[in-house]
Amino acid sequence: MIISPPFLPEAALASNDPDAIDPMMDAVDRFELAHGIYPIAFDRRWHPGMHLAPRLQNEKVRAIADGEVVAYRVCQHAFDSGGGVPDSNAGFVLLKHTTDTGEGRKLTFYSLYMHLLELDGYNDHGFHTDVLPSFLRTASPGPNMHPPAVASAQAGGGRKIYRKDILGLAGRCHGQLHLHFEIFMTKPDFDAYFGATQLGHEQVVTPTATDYWGSSYYVIPPQQQFLPLPPGTDANKKLHGIPFEQLDAGQNTDTLYVEVWFHKGEKFTKVWRDAGGSRLELLTEQPLREPNYEYDLYKRATALYATCPSDGYELLRFGRILGTPTTLPEAARTNWAQVAFATGRKGYIDVSNRAVLKLSDADFPFFKGWKKISEGSGPFDADGLCDIDALKQVLKDAKDHETPQEAALTEEYQKEDALVRYVKATDGVREQLRGFVCEAPSEWDSTHNEDRYRKLKDTGEFYDGNAAGYTKFLNLLKSFQFWDHTGLPAGEKLWFFHPTAFIRHFRKCGWLSIAEFERIYADRNYSNTQIPRPAELRSKYLIPLNFALRKYGLTTPIRQAHFLGQGAVESAWLTLMQETSMLGYLDASGFHGTVRNPVSLLLEASIGHWYGQLPTEDDAWFRSTKFNSGGVRIAGSYDWKNGNCDRDDAQKFRGRGFKQLTGRSNYADYWVFRGWISTVTFSTSWWTDPAFISHNRAAMTKRPAQIGDPQRVALPENCVDSGGFYLRFNRPRVASEIDRDPPRVAVTPAERQAERLISRAVTYAINGGYLDDAGRLLFTRAAKEILV
């Protein structure tokens, strides 16, 4: 899922905080205005959106994700909202987004951008309409003259929109500059997606499904034993060669809630304890930090889980094994993690213990602040007004009853003032409101107008005794409303989210939908005669790709861009998952190819064995220096390279997979990692045998790894996984080189030069050279344009 905020301020790009997980969201959150807080308006009514005011009015409003236009309105002029001056904007765009967050996890939601500036106002801000989609450059039909009436809304007509497309500039409402921004879901879409999460449940469980993204969470019951060192550590405080810091011994008296995440190679851990009354107390004023933990995951997994480092690696990263089938025995699945169990005290606990519940951000756990608020329950009465006492109870405020002063309030304006003071001035309230997922009617649906606003006619209220004024108000309101042009059911309630909290949360999900993948590996990168067709290739490899991105921590846009950009070269845009050869002639200088060898193109899965296993398939191309049809040397011989020692090794262990895993030694590393062979069955570093060095296979005493089915790498479920393995572990410097790349698209010459140097460093870290470094940079930049 690729999603970004409705503003992309340049200030966020200047963030120098190395610990900032999402500086863009940090910057946009600072645009939130106090008069437009989600989900409570200043008049105590539902406010299912938020008001955002950028520092500069020429900060462009952008689509937050790929989608389609549901409805829109373009106004030529601002209009008079009742004060005698044109002080309001009724322009809007409503988008529908459909994406994926996991295998079989379709998410459909809507985003609304309200109060877009009128066309006449753009010139004042140096804004040119040619940057807008064509349908937003012309005023919507209907009266829109001075003094203007509001133009009619228009149906979207299925128009497509892409993330970061410019929708306009923020305008005004009653003279106040802001964008009213909403994110909501229809009830069927909400139930279909969130029915598979733990939203709304305060008794969480470890999910049986493997949907996972974001942070890992552990729920540790009381009275668990914490150790100063894991069992089995030696006198040097090492376990199988992995050093462990000596900590404290003890027990936790309360339930602990633990969050673990990785950022630029470091592991971070925060811990809260259940303080009673559903209140959590933070035990870690600063997160526990374990430097280089993520960069060293392969080393740690190989040492601690020798029978299947792949499964062990997932234990260390996710707290559970997500891949199937699993190889690591149950008894070997201990996972000793540093966790604070009391103020100032931390120890080791085996989080693989079944008593420890294991979740992720994909589960929307309650202890991270997610609350499901249904219409007519919780803090909101049936008339849509928020009660301060009920709100305090939902927020678990220690003072969860009305004060005598609050109880004495009778006038509506007094209640409004008290609620506003509470929300604005009480520490933590606004942060807690970010987790509210609220069922409510849309304020843009005229069906609910009377229910929503009739109290304005009550004694002492704004339209007390002024029926004509109330009617005029409703007519003005209806001119803003547009639900009858959306095609969505009228009168039905929706589920709303704090918009930037929704975006921030789902930005943790690195799962790509087929539509998003199609934009990155687009048809234009393939020849017209490509077989299989590009769509078939993308469909074939999308799920394995997503599994690999998740497994190897390639979920940030920058890491994904480099992985996919480099992979575009290595795999020729998914068309080359097994290395092919050429027909031609052999002479003393090498093999001179003339045309592609069609037999080498056949998928080994279809012929039932690795190409070369039959004597009739012997191919001298692989054990020769290689020249293309133009006479250009393209590669050396694979004989006696990367652990190849038998006559057929050069062909047997030729390049396969997304990153073209090549050579018997590299295959052996991957086979051991997956638990398919054991290190006790062969001699480590057999290529140091003097007989190997002298190319004398018969005299070798060291045993090479025996792998009978090398074609296994080219299977869809393994080819991308082997690429992730190669990138992260056979070339451990790659991730740290990628992480030096700023999380933005390079624009200035200096930025582009720095980006080029980083891409070259990544290329060298992968290949030990700069093979097609220009193409790798080009494809990485193209991926960044879409992902970042």
Residue pLDDT, tens place only, 624-672: 999 999 999 988 999 999 999 999 999 999 999 998 899 999 999 999 9
CA distances in angstroms from 650 to 270, 619, 707, listed in the order given: 50, 9, 13
The encoded tokens of residue 770 equal 């700069």
Task: Provide the pLDDT confidence category of residue 498 given band limits of 50, 70 and 90.
Answer: very high
- What is residue 448's predicted lDDT score, i.e. its pLDDT? 84
pTM of the model: 0.94
Q: Which residues contact 137 (CB under 8 A, 6 or more apart)?
A: 74, 119, 129, 130
The structure tokens 């200047």 sit at 14
H-helix or E-strand spanning residue 219: strand 216-220
pLDDT at 147 over 60: no
Report pLDDT for 622. Answer: 96
Q: Using one digit for the tens of pLDDT, what is the confidence trace for 43-80? A: 788 889 999 999 888 899 999 999 999 999 999 999 88
**pLDDT average, residue stretch 84-101:** 94
- Helix 297-304 to helix 664-673 angle (10° resolution) is 70
Within its chain, how far is the Cα of 338 from the centroid? 26
Q: Where are the domains of the chain?
A: 10-196+370-506, 216-367, 655-787
Residue 657, Ramachandran bin (φ over 0: left; ψ between -120 and 50: alpha; else beta): left
Q: Which residues contact 497 (CB under 8 A, 6 or more apart)?
A: 183, 184, 185, 437
pLDDT at 459: 80
DSSP-derived 3-state class of residue 90 = coil
DSSP assignment string, 694-720: TT-GGG--SPPPP-S-GGGGGSHHHHH
Q: Are 360 and 318 in contact (CB under 8 A)?
A: yes
Return the DSSP state at 362. Answer: G
**187-236, pLDDT tens digit by residue?**
999 999 999 999 999 999 999 998 999 999 999 999 999 999 999 999 99
CB 23 within 8 A of CB 17: yes
User: What region, left, alpha or beta, does residue 319 occupy, with left being phi > 0 and alpha being psi -120 to 50 degrees?
Assistant: left
What pLDDT band is residue 145 in, cutting at 50, 70 and 90? Answer: very low
- The CA-atom distances, in angstroms, between 385 and each of 81, 186, 456, 475, 671 are 24, 22, 12, 22, 62
**How do residues 373-418 score in pLDDT, each as one tens digit?**
987 777 777 677 788 888 888 887 755 455 666 656 656 667 778 8
The Cα 169–Cα 52 span in angstroms is 12
**Cα separation of 159 and 109, whole Å?**
16
A 10 A CB-CB count for 42 gives 16
Please write the tens of the pLDDT for every residue from 742-774. Answer: 888 898 999 999 999 999 999 988 878 888 999
Whether the predicted pLDDT of 93 surpasses 80: yes
Q: How far apart are the first and last CA of the chain?
A: 12
Average pLDDT of the segment spanning 291-304: 95
Bond into 532 cis (ω within 30): yes
pLDDT score, position 407: 59
pLDDT tens, residue by residue, 6-31? 999 986 666 667 788 999 999 999 99
Average pLDDT taken over every residue of the chain: 92
Handedness of CA 23, 27, 28, 29 (dihedral sign): positive
